Structures are given as C-alpha cells and as structure tokens.
Amino acid sequence: MPNYYLIHKPYGMLSQFTREAPQHRVLGDLFDFPKNVYAVGRLDRDSEGLLILTNDRRLNEALLHPSRKHGRTYWVRVEGTPTEELLGQLRSGVVIRTKGKTHHCAPLEARILTEKETENISPRTPPVRFRKSVPDAWLELTLTEGKNRQVRKMCASVGLPVLRLVRVGIESLRLSDVGDSAVKQVKADWLLPRIGL
C-alpha cells in the first residue's frame, strides 16, 4: 500500500536514510518510517525545507522525469543587493557549470520578498553568519529544473552568494502544509492533485 509523507528537512540533514559518517543526521532521525520509503528528489545537506517521501515509484518517475518540468519554489537569503538587472539575469536563465559541463538554465520566476513575508521564518540552527557591512535580502525563486546545487550556482553567477536556502513549495504544495511537526503523513487523494498528478 502506498505511503506518502511531507517532510520539513532541517539544515544539516542528508536527504537519505544511510549515514555516510557516524555523525551524519539522516531522514530516519525524524520519524520511524516504513522500510521501503524514500525521498522524491533531494535537498543538499545545507538546504532546508519541503521534501516528499513515498514508496510509490510512479510518483518518483512522474515528478522527476525531465519532461515533467514541475515547479519548485525556494526562499533564498542572499548576500548583496538584488537589483532589477540581476533579477532579470536570473529570470532569463544564467549559465552555470554542473558535472563538469556548461548548462544554460531555463527561465525562472524571481522576486524580492518583503520583510512582512519573511518575518515568521524561524531562525536556523546553527545561525547564519552575517556581515554587518554587507546588505542581504530574501528572494523567491521558482524553477522547473533540478540540477545539483542549481539555486546556489545561479545566485553566485550574478554576484549574490546564498546564505540560506529553504524550499517552500513543490507545485501547489507548501512547506506550511507540513504543520508544526517535521513530518506529516498524507493521503494520495490529498497529495496527488496538489502536484498535478
């Protein structure tokens, strides 16, 4: 029987169940999941936010196949001042290096988040190191690609190094759907329509 879970992955945790070193935190530290459940997609160890876990292999193929181009939304705290010119570069698709090759990123949506929108973001543990002499800002980026460390590489390419990265959405799913806990089990008839399946 298919199982579906929404996860709020914390900073410093691997998006997998196998420890690569004794000190690593893994998804199994959050909850006693069934043995055959795995993450659909990944978030880097130093990224936070929304993950789907399931044993439904069809979901993995439907979401991750390159032709699917499902939207993933990130809130990204960057160092520097994001001007309209820099946002325009991101929106039109920048060039990055991935797996030793040049990749021209697909166009994306980008905007600066207001202070009101970000006031309820919980502090990260450990805290992000800020430089008082350098401004920072929160961006919202919605991509339809998922290359390794793509958001970080894109922002760096326009001179906006990433300080913090939180995935807040997958299609119409939102991180807030997880609620106050780190894990929420959901039903197929609730989940699948929200990710366009």
DSSP conformation class of 106: P
The percent helix, strand, coil of the chain (3-state, each to 5) is 20, 30, 45
d(CA 36, CA 64): 19
Phi and psi angles of residue 80, each rounded to the nearest 5 degrees, phi first: 115, -175
d(CA 195, CA 138): 25
Answer yes or no: 44 catalytic: yes
Closest listed residue to residue 42, CA positions, set 149, 125, 143, 128 = 149
Alpha helices in 7-160 (DSSP H): 57-64, 84-92, 115-118, 150-157
Find the catalytic residue in 29, 32, 44, 56.
Answer: 44
Give CA torsion, residues 161, 165, 171, 174, to 10 deg: -150
d(CA 28, CA 60): 19
Contacts for 120 with CB less than 8 Å, ≥ 6 apart: none
- Positions annotated as catalytic residues are 44
